Amino acid sequence: MKKVLFFVTLLVLTLAPVASVAVAQDTPKALEDGKLTIAWIPKALNNPVFELGRDGCFAAAKELTEMGPYEVECLYLGSVASDMAEQARVMADAVAQGVDAIGVSCNSDAGCVEPINSAIEAGIPVMTWDSDSPESNRFTYLGVSNYLGGRAAADLLIRTMGTEGKVALLTGVPGAPNLEQRIQGFKDFTSKYPGIEIVTTVACNDDINLGVQVVEETMQSYPDLDGWFFVGLWPIFAGRGAMPLFEEAALNGGMKAIAFDTLPVELEWLKDGLLHGLVGQKYWGWGYDTMHMLYNNVIYGTPFEDFTNSGMDIVTINNVDAMATAWETQDFTQPLPPPFPGE
């Protein structure tokens, strides 16, 4: 028996380059070395939220390895800064390295098509997460609809602020598709309420310092502002006291602020009454769920819908403690209590 296995292994190894396409499509797959290597490629390495995803990726790899029979590895690859050309190179490297599957967050939907398709031609299944490339042949996209996220943020703001008031938006780099979709969702939702006026949209180029500056300038321009939608969390990274006008209005002026993402620093702001609602993506799930989906696809050939909803975390003062606990324990598998009691 052992001899037979040896010869089969030898045969597989010899034929592997020729047969790799066929082998990859066979299910369940007999992995030649008993090892499954999955490349998990974020947009960039310089953004901390991707590190959460990486942690999820590692957690899933550990879990799946323990489950057996395969040794599963999460290969965390990426370019330092967001750059489609660099990312394409990273993907080509992963293919050359002979990984078994790829999960990628695309820096550009069009730019991702060619690298994804050539990986698939090499027999490597690919899915996208966080940021899609719909024109490519990836088998599924795990993400939230940014548009729905924007609508959820608008809903949160109206529930806390009421149906009338002046609102300002803070975005990162104008034209970034995910941010624009959030803004669109937000605007579509609020357009049903004639009492809500979006007075300005300011941008901070993903820079904390500039974010602080433009928020304060907007507070000067509109001292009677009723609400903020931070399409990302940039200025919140600055320590308390960096935005005195904003803090004063939020604490004592009845101004409400909703922000995207649910990082611990935002939870603290929420607890302190400086933010009033958060819409979060499941960063940890980006890694954790992607690994499980790729594993199932490679080993069992499990099919997936074109779009897999990763879901959103809606955090208010009512469930902020549960979210904080999840961060402390690094266990994001438990569902959050409802953001508004009785729903």
Which residues lie near another protein (CB under 8 A)?
A: 45-48, 50-51, 80, 171, 174-175, 200-203, 205-209, 212-214, 216-218, 220-221, 237-242, 245, 265
Cβ-based nearer residue to another protein, 131 or 297: 131
Closest approach, Cβ 45 to another protein, in A, equals: 6
Q: Using an 8 Å Cβ cutoff, are 288 and 332 in contact?
A: yes
Least distance in Å: CB of 40 to another protein?
A: 15
In terms of CB distance, is 237 or 304 closer to another protein?
A: 237
Distance, in Å, from the CA atom of 3 to the CA atom of 1, rounded to the nearest integer, reads 5
Smallest distance, another protein to C-beta of residue 59, A: 18
Nearer to another protein, 244 or 338 (CB): 244
Q: How far is the CB of 207 from another protein (least distance, A)?
A: 7
Phi, psi at 104, each rounded to 5°: -135, 145
Question: Measured from the CB atom, is 31 or 44 closer to another protein?
Answer: 44
Phi–psi pair at 108, nearest 5 degrees? -150, 135
d(CA 293, CA 281): 18
Q: Residue-wise over 289-307: b if at least 16 C-beta within 10 A, else e?
A: bbbbbbbebbbeeeebeee
Residue closer to another protein (CB basis): 139 or 230: 230
SS3 291: helix
In the complex, what is the shortest distance from the CB of residue 48 to another protein, in angstroms, rounded to a whole number? 5
**Whose Cβ is closer to another protein: residue 50's or residue 141's?**
50
- Classified as helix, coil or strand, 229 is strand
| Distance between CA atoms of residues 91 and 41, nearest Å | 8
What's the min distance (Å) between Cβ of 74 and another protein?
17
Shortest Å, Cβ 314 to another protein? 24
Q: Which residues contact 143 (CB under 8 A, 6 or more apart)?
A: 128, 129, 130, 131, 132, 281, 307, 308, 309, 310
Q: What amino acid is encoded at 77 in this protein?
A: L
Least distance CB 211 / another protein (angstroms): 9
* DSSP string computed for 147-158: HHHHHHHHHHHH
Query: How many Å apart are CA 286 and CA 276, to the nearest integer?
Result: 25
The smaller minimum CB distance to another protein, of residues 264 and 273, is found at 264
Q: Which is nearer to another protein, 235 or 339 (CB)?
A: 235
Quickly list DSSP for 67-89: H-SSEEEEEE---SS--HHHHHH
DSSP E strand boundaries for 188-271: 196-203, 227-230, 256-260
Q: Alpha carbon 118 to chain centroid distance?
A: 24
Radius of gyration of the chain (CA): 23
